[in-house]
Amino acid sequence: MNISIPKLQHTDSGNFFLMAGPCAIEGEEMALQIAEELVRITNRLRIPLIFKGSYRKANRSRLDSFTGIGDEKALKILAKVSQTFGIPTVTDIHESHEAAIAAAYVDVLQIPAFLCRQTDLLVAAAQTGKVVNIKKGQFLSGESMRFAVDKVKESGNANVILTDRGNTFGYSDMVVDFRNIPAMQENQVPVVMDVTHSLQQPNQASGVTGGKPALIETIAKAAIAVGADGLFIETHPTPATAKSDGANMLQLSNLESLLEKLVRIREAVR
């Protein structure tokens, strides 16, 4: 990677890096439990790890959907994960004023896909000096993401990551176009495949997002084979009880075997 992330380990391994964790921070015990297992697995496989957790879920299908346990409480949990395990953390922000608030607790600020064209948000994130991970809009091509990269870099911050999470045509499903990975790498920034969100089935009639978790391994293998620099995988000990995006998360107990396969693919294509 040609970016600098504090506390990121195993960058000399030649492996892809991993952004992983629960969709949302549901509580301290759960976050520490997941982080401990992620650290164990990635240390063994020498995979650089960034722990992911949303401190607040602003983009929900229904008004009564879970949004969080409280901003400061969740951000402090992310900080505790980082301090306890010595790993960097990432969380998403949704409005410009959130950038400085979240930056006080995490190492990477994530721009949600629906907001990747919001200039004020990108500039605010850039001005914190933190690494900015921009998710590609479901409605955009990989090539068009150069403008989002330019907004951050021209605001004085060269530490940018781009993440693909599939494309949608408004029919409650996502399609992954793997041409987007090399297209976004043309911007000379690391490119990540968001495996679990690319398998979402949003805007279901029930108002609860669905998903196709059985295809997680397929998308992850293809992304590494194409040359993705990193993977984004949301994981939970019991996805069925997760308060957000349980339908497309990977069960934590299945992560280690998947990563073992992906490391072998990475070695083969390197």
Residue 216 forms part of a structural domain: yes
Which structural domain, as residue segments, surrounds residue 70? 17-269
Residue 3 forms part of a structural domain: no
What's the pLDDT at 63? 54
The string of pLDDT tens digits covering residues 24-33 is: 999 999 999 9
Mean pLDDT calculated for residue range 203-221: 72
Cβ partners under 8 Å of residue 14, min gap 6? 266, 267, 270
Residue 11 forms part of a structural domain: no
Band (205; pLDDT cuts 50, 70, 90): very low
Among residues 37, 34, 202, 41, the alpha carbon closest in space to that of 112 is found at 202
Domain count, the chain: 1
CATH of the domain at 244: 3.20.20.70
Residue 196 forms part of a structural domain: yes
Mean pLDDT calculated for residue range 71-79: 96
Residue 238 forms part of a structural domain: yes
- Global confidence as pTM: 0.92
68 or 160, higher pLDDT? 160
Residue 91 forms part of a structural domain: yes
SS3 state at 158: coil
Residue 141 forms part of a structural domain: yes
Q: Please tell me the distance from the alpha carbon of residue 239 to that of residue 214, in angstroms, as a whole number.
A: 13
The C-alpha torsion from 37 through 6 and 158 to 3, rounded to 10°, is -60
Q: Please tell me the distance from the alpha carbon of residue 209 to that of residue 215, in angstroms, as a whole number.
A: 16
The string of pLDDT tens digits covering residues 227-261 is: 999 999 999 999 888 777 667 789 999 999 999 99
Question: CB count, 10 Å around CB of 266?
Answer: 18
Residue 37 forms part of a structural domain: yes
